[in-house]
Amino acid sequence: MKRTRNAVRNVIFGGLLKGYQILVPFIMRTLLIRYLGMEYLLISQKCMNIKMNMKVPTCIVVLIFTLSTVNVFAQNDYKWGEWTTWGDQGDGTYCNPVLPSDYSDIDCIRVGDDYYAISSTFQYSPGMVIIHSKDLVNWTIKGHVVSNLRQISEEMNWTRMNRYGRGIWAGAIRYYQGKFYVYFGTPDEGYFMSTATDPAGPWEPLHCVKAEKGWDDCCPFFDDDGQLYFVGTHFADKYKTYLYRMTPDGKTLIENSKILINEGYGREASKLYKINGTYYHFFSEVKNGGRYIMMQRSSSITGPYLERKQLSHVQREYNEPNQGGLVEGPDRKWYFFTHHGTGDWAGRIASLLPVYWVDGWPIIGEVGQDGIGTMVWQAAKPSNEYPVRTPQSSDDFSKSVLSPQWEWNYQSRDEMWSLTERPGYLRLKAFRPLVTDNLLKAGNTLTQRCFRTNKNEVIVKMNIEGMVDGQKAGLCHYSKSYAMVGVRQSGKDRNLEFQTNKEKITGPAIKGNKVWIKSVWGLDGKSQFSYSTDGRKFTPFGEVYQLEWGYYRGSRIGIYCFNNIADAGYIDVDEFIYLY
């Protein structure tokens, strides 16, 4: 009998021990991924060897020791702008930023298994860019909402170019009854909206929802009962935020329905959500010299919003992640896709932060002892089913329409460029700038966002056979200041020229009809231009140029072509290569 009891006891305790030996390493792995992210992967093989030979008590001691001595630099010892890796790491993890480029004023939604986000574009055309992802980490450019900025104002046309730092500001994207809806504000003209059945377009012509200056950061809300709402901030009147009812088509605000739901210095970035029957109003505000994320909630969309919670700290050292969209990931966990609101030469770049629900509040990032979130630099990907993808950049101009990575500086003069006059080339026809020899007042400059990565290399190949007297064409960087390297023609003579808003340097004569211009920069944003006449040997030319932040935008890379004395001459761009 005693032997039987011992045998039974051994079986029971042996089973429990075996269960612990399986369970505890699993718990350790889960917690280590949660707290260490990428750092765990670097030591996982060693840990696995150790864990397999541990007794359970030893394993628990190591677990406790590991969590009590977590290598905090995995999240907190990063210095802004010094990341050596970003986005999808190819091993089931990602590193922030996921988009080290100027994707400002983000909003994000999920539609089925797809994620769509929008980003403000200010004076660039087409306006309000849409990007797409399957996993919230890998993003490509889908298209734009606004095909013609003249729908907003003539000030955004090439004839005036008078909206630097203004134009299309933050907005929101939503999906309702088979349609995509995008709403946004411009500080001078008011609120606008458009709809489409396909986010790639075509989008309906813009409709002005509210024609009044001084408003920003709006968001629609489509309630379960079919009633449509709209929230927006009157920043010109002490940042008062109002809730409106809308007409069923979502095109008109019912003015006598407006309710004041928030006010306070710098309160903007409004979003409305309904989660598990509770209405949440997301916003950011400014206190003690920095912007951070807040939320208020109510059982009714009209309020009162009596409960309020701070979701993240200011984090000036990480350029203040503070405006974006809350979304459920493919792993059924929640995430916050956000820009970093303090801009630098790369603009307001984008990160993906895990969200942890605490007492019904979506805390953004690592939850501190105070219950408020902080920046997370490394984490497990929401899904491992999709390949690494990055926004489009290079172009051989073989299509009959411009690729979606391109945006004109202001609305283009359409008869002065073509992709069909010489198939396989982009033809840019020169015309006089609004201000002589000023890149920022020269129409039809074609641009892309710059990335802040270890190494960026851009090469543009141009055929300059069609250049004439007074014409300039080449490669440029600009924000509020600019630097450009290209060919200048005076009479029949062509010379290389480096020009900024402060100086000009004349270079060697260009004899042939082909020229290659290159710009190379790294994490420090210091660009060195060079040129070639054969596409193989490049010679540095011009001063090193520091890319800069200006007009709420990061520095752009672009192709310019203008003529200071006549509407005459052209170049044919054969290829634009951007490796980042």
Give the separation between CA 129 and CA 154, rounded to whole angstroms: 20
Q: Please list, in sequence order, all residues whose beta carbon lies within 8 angstroms of the beta carbon of residue 39, skipping any fewer than 6 positions away.
A: 71, 74, 378
HSE of 418, CA atoms in CB hemisphere, 13 A: 10
In whole angstroms, how far apart are CA 322 and each of 52, 365, 504?
43, 11, 40
Coil, strand, or helix at residue 405? Answer: coil
Kindly provide the b/e burial profile for residues 472-495, where b requires at least 16 CB atoms within 10 angstroms of the residue's own CB.
bbbbbbbbebbbbbbbbbeeeebe
Give the separation between CA 490 and CA 122, rounded to whole angstroms: 35
Give the separation between CA 526 and CA 519, rounded to whole angstroms: 10
Q: What residues act catalytically?
A: 105, 268
Kindly provide the b/e burial profile for residues 140-157, where b requires at least 16 CB atoms within 10 angstroms of the residue's own CB.
ebbbbbbbbbbbbbebbb
Q: For residue 119, give the DSSP letter.
A: E
Coil, strand, or helix at residue 67? Answer: helix
Give the separation between CA 295 and CA 267, rounded to whole angstroms: 11
Strand order in the sheet with 87-88: 87-88, 93-95, 378-380
In terms of Cβ atoms closer than 10 Å to its own Cβ (0-12, 13-18, 19+), residue 105 is buried
| Token pair in block for residue 465 | 């056979």
Q: For residue 253, give the DSSP letter.
A: E
Is residue 563 a contact partner of residue 569, using CB atoms and an 8 Å limit? yes
Give the separation between CA 276 and CA 559, rounded to whole angstroms: 50
Is residue 281 a contact partner of residue 294, using CB atoms and an 8 Å limit? no
Please state the φ and ψ torsions of residue 27, each to the nearest 5 degrees: -65, -45
Give the separation between CA 15 and CA 27, rounded to whole angstroms: 18
Q: Please list, in sequence order, all residues whose beta carbon lies within 8 angstroms of the beta carbon of residue 471, skipping any fewer than 6 positions away.
A: 430, 488, 489, 561, 562, 563, 564, 568, 569
- Count Cβ atoms below 10 Å from residue 138 Cβ, excluding itself: 21
